[in-house]
Amino acid sequence: MGVVNRIANWLLLVLLVLVAVALVSTVVIGQPAVLGVIESGSMEPTLSTGDGYVPIPAVLAGDVETGDVVTFESSGIEGGQPTTHRVVEVTESGYITKGDANPVTDQDTGAPPVAAEEITAVALAVNGDVVRIPGVGVVVGLLRGGISWLQETLASLFGTDLFGGERGLALTLFGAGIALLGTEFIVERRGRSRGDRSRSRSRFDWNRIDNKLLVGGLVVLLMLVATVGMLVPAGSTTFELISAESDAETPRVTQVGGTTERPFVVENGGLLPVRVIVESESNGLTVEDERFSLSRGGVHEQTITTSAPQQTGLYRRSITEYRYFQLLPPAVIDSLHEVHPAAALLAIDLLVGVVAGSVGLLAVGTGRLRTRSRSRPRSGLTGLFDRR
């Protein structure tokens, strides 16, 4: 096998890993990470059905400007489902959005402007052109079909719904991965016991990969997904408050000097439990519960109290929500957050990295993984555990 073919095979493997991470991250963290997939033609010709794009979390992307392609979740558009459209105008009340292939804006159909807190990601662009990855949807479709079949087979085999639905996806993939690695390891051991000792003697061998490098790459990828999972659902929320001479039947309008209560709901759409910290960024705004934990699928409802100034006019009050995977005791996370939010993020990322790295090195060792370089039957499924 030539060097070009080997490089192509590794690039394909990297693409498959990225797509798998994109699928699993949607379940684990409740948001897409690494790759997003376009499911309609509303953004053609910029992004066609099945194209992939790179979503940058809104908290990292900076200010959204006219011309940016954003992913948002607005209750007035597509029933609150994730939508990827272009920002065509920035107004005081929000963003005006439109699919490149649509004749009118989303707001022309009666939807309200998209609020800043409803934007979850901004599509990566280079020199103003959105980075498009064609064909990702085909791979995603094949993977989804295969995974669905595997989930149904396991559910039928074991007589349980534990593997069914989106919540069973992570368990299914984990089990399949362990089974594949275990089978490969056993078959490779048997192959070596028969005297299969061919070596590649070149000084630089594309067929040999340092285990530590492979595990390190996977650790970095997992830490990236963990960081995105904590940053994307978090962010700031702004409330508009009108201080008026008299009350109105809406929390937005409050009599001067009075107070108004409004609901604030936090949901955990991911698989992992999270520690949530909500902080007021404005005077005249009180948060009922500043710190709480949410299990997977958990919902926390509380009341935000805003006070109207003595002078009439339009005012804005903001709160900031921080989320951390609860992989450490809540008291430890709270203490690290008091030092700086980045300290809590870094500590959890390091924990993920240490655990993932330790498990990875225990699984594959610290030597070298070796793939085959000649056209002959392999000892294993992929040659992954061929060692130097």
Q: Which of 58-67, 110-119, 155-164, 359-368 has the lowest mean pLDDT?
A: 155-164
Residue 322 in any domain: the answer is yes
Q: Is the pLDDT of residue 378 over 50?
A: no
Q: What is the pLDDT of residue 17?
A: 64
- How much is the average pLDDT of 142-168? 67
Decide if pLDDT at 372 tops 70. Answer: no
Q: Which range, of 28-42, 61-75, 319-333, 360-374, averages the lowest pLDDT? A: 360-374
The reply to whether 357 falls in a domain is no
Out of 121-130, 151-160, 301-310, the most confident range is 121-130
Number of domains the chain contains: 2
pTM exceeding the 0.75 threshold for the entire prediction: no
Percent of the chain scoring above 90 in pLDDT: 21
Instruction: Give the model's pLDDT for residue 189.
Output: 58
Residue 70 lies in a domain: yes
The parent domain of residue 53 ranges over 36-130
The last residue of a domain, from among 130, 149, 168: 130
Is it the case that residue 323 has pLDDT exceeding 70?
yes
The answer to whether residue 105 is domain-embedded is yes
Whichever domain contains 42, its CATH number is 2.10.109.10
What pLDDT was estimated at residue 87? 96
Q: What is the pLDDT of residues 330-339, one digit of tens each?
A: 999 999 999 9
Q: Per the domain annotation, does 363 fall within a domain?
A: no
CATH number at residue 262: 2.60.40.10
- pLDDT-derived band at 39, boundaries 50, 70, 90: confident
Look at residues 130, 158, 183 and tell me which one is the last residue of a structural domain: 130
User: Residue 91 domain-assigned?
Assistant: yes
pLDDT value for 316: 79
Residue 14 domain-assigned (yes or no): no
Q: What is the 3-state secondary structure (H, E, C) of the chain?
A: CCHHHHHHHHHHHHHHHHHHHHHHHHHHCCCCCCCEECCCCCCCCCCCCCCEECEEEHHHHCCCCCCCEEEECCCCCHHHCCEEEEEEEEECCEEEEECCCCCCCCHHHCCCCECHHHEEEEECEECCEECCECCHHHHHHHHHHHHHHHHHHHHHHHCCCCCCCHHHHHHHHHHHHHHHHHHHHHHHHHHHHCCCCCCCCCCCCCCEEEHHHHHHHHHHHHHHHHHHHHHCCCEEEEEEEEEECCCCCCCCEEECCCEEEEEEEEECCCCCCEEEEEEECCCCEEECCCEEEECCCCEEEEEEEEECCCCCEEEEEEEEEEEEECCCCHHHHHHHHHHCHHHHHHHHHHHHHHHHHHHHHHHHCCCEEECCCCCCCCCCCCCCCEEC
